[in-house]
Copies of this chain bind each other. A is one copy, B any other.
């Protein structure tokens, strides 16, 4: 008699973006003449630059001839790509060894998968609000209690508030696995070196592990802000970094990312290198590598020309962010983020709830955003707009908000 994993029943609601899609679809059906403008999901829209297209095409062409054909690659990833990533870090003054780098098919699957090497009794801590995957996947894995009053029992929520600039201090409570997202999705806040150092110190002191989601690191333009957790001394002893090509290269549907597990990382009852080895065992058993075509594209992204072209895409999206932010501020709204991250974090006017504002924005302006409460209880009363989109659509959305939003 097979039984289901009843942890699924603990999940508070459907996956956030699925719910948004549902409400948007409903609106579109009821208002067939309205043009819905989507600033909800952080999804790229601009065509890939020529160097990356060239890299991906090379990946395809290699499969067409006997001499260059490849079947299964290493589960850990193409050695050339691991080396290129080690160089990528090196150019920033960070030492990461090739064997510490594992190529993935993106950050979203890695963030849940990484849990599998840790015991089920580990207490997780998350920023609040934050990308919902950390919480939902840990609920499914059974690391949390029931959902009451907007919170899951056994999860440590670290509030990101206007008062702390949306970057929390390390928790006062016991926490074993601490998810950090910087630049933060959804608030757009970036932790300073000093703020990250507090977490590294906490983790070393309490033998906790930081799971550092750096997916948006390339959007940081302020050179004093850290783009990798390994810019903080001691982080190699306590932090795993999960990163992605998705946003860096405008690559979201192509699926490529990487994870760093330092050899120095030591947790209770393990030796140096053991956690790295555990992940290697997990990957060789349950993963078959990222697509060889896509990894060839990843190499192109990391080439000199690729990096130059990627910066242009990032600049483009960040100009969108500026346009949105400026327009909203002009309307008198209180707005955060959008400076070193592609997300604009809006305080909803008149203490409206996040979903109320979602419906209002959709109905009045036909713009789809993301309710802050979907990112955790601390997001209630906030709303996220994404800077990913064609310029003309961003401008249309902004104009519609300026013209039609009744504040």
Contact = CB atoms under 8 A, between A and B. Distances in A.
Interface of A: 1-6, 8, 11, 14-15, 17-18, 41, 43-48, 50, 53, 56-57, 60-61, 63-66, 69-73, 105-106, 108-109, 112-113, 116-122, 133, 136-137, 140-142, 176-177, 206-209, 252-255, 267-270, 274-275, 278, 281-282, 284-294, 388, 390
Residue of A70, A253, A268, A287 contacting most chain B CB atoms (<10 Å): A253
A16 to B, nearest CB: 9
Do most interface residues of chain A lie in helix, strand or loop, or is the interface mixed?
A: loop
Contacts of A69: 45-48
B72 A118 contact: no
Contacts of A206: 1
Given A41-B72, A57-B57, A63-B48, A118 B285 contact: no
A4 B56 contact: no
Contacts of A47: 63-66, 69
B63 A106 contact: no
B117 A8 contact: yes
A285 B115 CA distance: 14
A311 to B, nearest CB: 18
A293 to B, nearest CB: 6
B286 A116 contact: no
B3 A281 contact: no
Contact of A43 (B4, B14, B72, B388): B72
A305 to B, nearest CB: 15
B57 A289 contact: no
Nearest to A274: B4
A53 B63 contact: yes
B2 A108 contact: no
B255 A290 contact: yes
B65 A45 contact: no
Contacts of A71: 43-45, 252-253, 388
Top 10 closest A-B pairs, CB basis?
A: A253-B292, A43-B71, A71-B252, A2-B176, A3-B119, A1-B207, A108-B288, A15-B284, A112-B286, A2-B209
11 contacts: A1-B208, A6-B119, A8-B281, A14-B281, A43-B72, A53-B61, A71-B388, A105-B105, A105-B291, A106-B288, A108-B287
Given A3-B122, A47-B69, A117-B5, A255 B112 contact: no
